[in-house]
């Protein structure tokens, strides 16, 4: 998600050709865990009338976000980049972010004008994913920018505050407001980076 931008995860193949699948490498196991966390986090948010469910959802989301950094770090450190990780890592990221945003909209933590921030984030992720997939087929790289990494960090922080939501208000008044402000800031950065990637893609088509 969105998280792929933060650490480049397991998406880079080693020089010289396609990486092996390595289905049971630790980086890929961490990615599987992130995929499995998606329905659990969504279920916790579905029952978010109980405040402890909010805290459980936040804990799982935080662990999932950490594994997104760890799988990429370990894959690079141990030279375990894999074709399976290249495919699955961005899917896991976007499933986690999309599921959280949808559940937060459903329980009205995100509502009114803030819905547009969520729409921008989701549309950008779909657009850039499609662009990356198309250009990857043509062996054209689309490097992650520094701004995109900041966008990801702010996006994660926003979702974390919003997941805490009313439960967090008991400990830190204004938790939801902080989350919505960060969501708008991440949406602005999301729009900027999305446009930046689109320009890079359009420039390639023009050059061709």
pLDDT digits (tens, 9 = 90+) for 157-167: 999 999 999 88
State how far the Cα of 41 lies from the Cα of 43, in Å rounded to an integer: 5
Alpha carbon 115 to chain centroid, angstroms: 18
Beta strand residue intervals within 61-205, DSSP E: none
Asked if 131 contacts 196 with a C-beta cutoff of 8 angstroms, the reply is: no
Q: Is pLDDT above 70 for 137?
A: no
Average pLDDT, the chain: 79
**Domain range for 180:** 4-207
Q: For the chain, give the percent of residues with pLDDT over 90.
A: 34
Which residues lie closer than 8 Å to 145 by C-beta, 6 or more apart? Answer: 193, 196
Sign (positive/negative) of CA torsion 102, 106, 111, 113?
positive
Q: Is pLDDT above 80 for 154?
A: yes
pTM of the entire structure?
Answer: 0.79
Residue 69 CB neighbours (<10 A): 15
pLDDT value for 27: 78
pLDDT value for 124: 85
The number of distinct structural domains making up the chain is 1
Question: Domain with 77 in it: what CATH number?
Answer: 1.20.120.1760
- Higher-confidence residue: 45 or 203? 45
- Higher-confidence residue: 205 or 101? 101
State how far the Cα of 95 lies from the Cα of 39, in Å rounded to an integer: 9
- Report helix angle 83-106 to 114-137, nearest 10: 160
């Amino acid at each position: 998600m969105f998280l792929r931008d933060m650490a480049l995860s397991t998406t880079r193949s080693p020089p010289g050709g396609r990486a092996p699948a390595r289905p049971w490498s630790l980086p890929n196991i961490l990615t599987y865990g992130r995929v499995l966390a998606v329905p659990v986090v969504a279920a916790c948010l579905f029952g978010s009338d109980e405040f402890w469910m909010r805290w459980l959802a936040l804990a799982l989301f935080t662990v999932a976000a950490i594994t997104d950094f760890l799988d990429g770090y370990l894959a690079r450190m141990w030279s375990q980049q894999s074709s399976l990780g290249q495919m699955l890592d961005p899917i896991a990221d976007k499933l986690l972010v999309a599921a959280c945003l949808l559940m937060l909209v459903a329980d009205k933590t995100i509502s009114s004008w803030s819905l547009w921030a969520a729409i921008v984030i989701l549309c950008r992720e779909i657009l850039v994913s499609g662009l990356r997939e198309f250009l990857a087929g043509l062996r054209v790289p689309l490097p992650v920018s520094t701004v995109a990494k900041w966008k990801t960090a702010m996006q994660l922080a926003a979702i974390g505050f919003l997941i805490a939501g009313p439960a967090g208000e008991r400990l830190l008044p204004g938790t939801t407001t902080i989350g919505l402000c960060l969501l708008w800031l991440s949406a602005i950065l999301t729009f900027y980076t999305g446009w930046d990637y689109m320009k890079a893609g359009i420039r390639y088509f023009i050059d061709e």
